[in-house]
Structures are given as structure tokens and as C-alpha cells.
Amino acid sequence: MLKPDLRKRWSDFTKCVCQGARLMVGVPDYETYVEHMRRNHPDRSVMAYPDFFRERQAARYGGEGRSGFRCC
């Protein structure tokens, strides 16, 4: 059984590893976005996950007439 302090450290570590893995493969981190918006832009509304995902994909791959990475 893990002690409470060790359990918290393990949880923080696994969250960090998962976030890093998502960033390496290009999957946006919605939780980080929501936290950032609430902390830094409380006057703005937070996008729903599907809207956030679409916007991040368009920014990365050049949707809606924007230039960006294209594989083909």
C-alpha cells in the first residue's frame, strides 16, 4: 500500500508522462487548456472538447485555408 505522499507523487508523475506522450503524438491536452482559460481568461468562455479538438487539429494541420503541416 502506498503512503499518501507517495501516492500523490506517483499520480503527478503518471499524469506528466501521459501528457508528454500525448504532446509527442500531437493529441491536444484539453484539461490543460481548461485550467489555463479559467486561470488566465476568466471572462472568456471555454470551448467544448469537440470544438477544441477541431481548432487544435486545424492549427496543426492547416485547416480552413491556413498553412500548416500536410503529409500529402
Q: So what's the pLDDT on residue 29?
A: 82
Position 27 pLDDT exceeds 80:
no
Work out the pLDDT band at 1, boundaries 50, 70, 90.
low
Rounded CA separation 19/27 (Å): 9
Rounded CA separation 12/22 (Å): 15
Distances (CA, A) of 26 to 40, 57, 63: 24, 9, 15
Rounded CA separation 37/29 (Å): 13
**65 or 33: whose pLDDT is higher?**
33
Q: pLDDT per residue over 4-13, tens digit each?
A: 788 899 999 9
Domain boundaries, the chain: 27-52
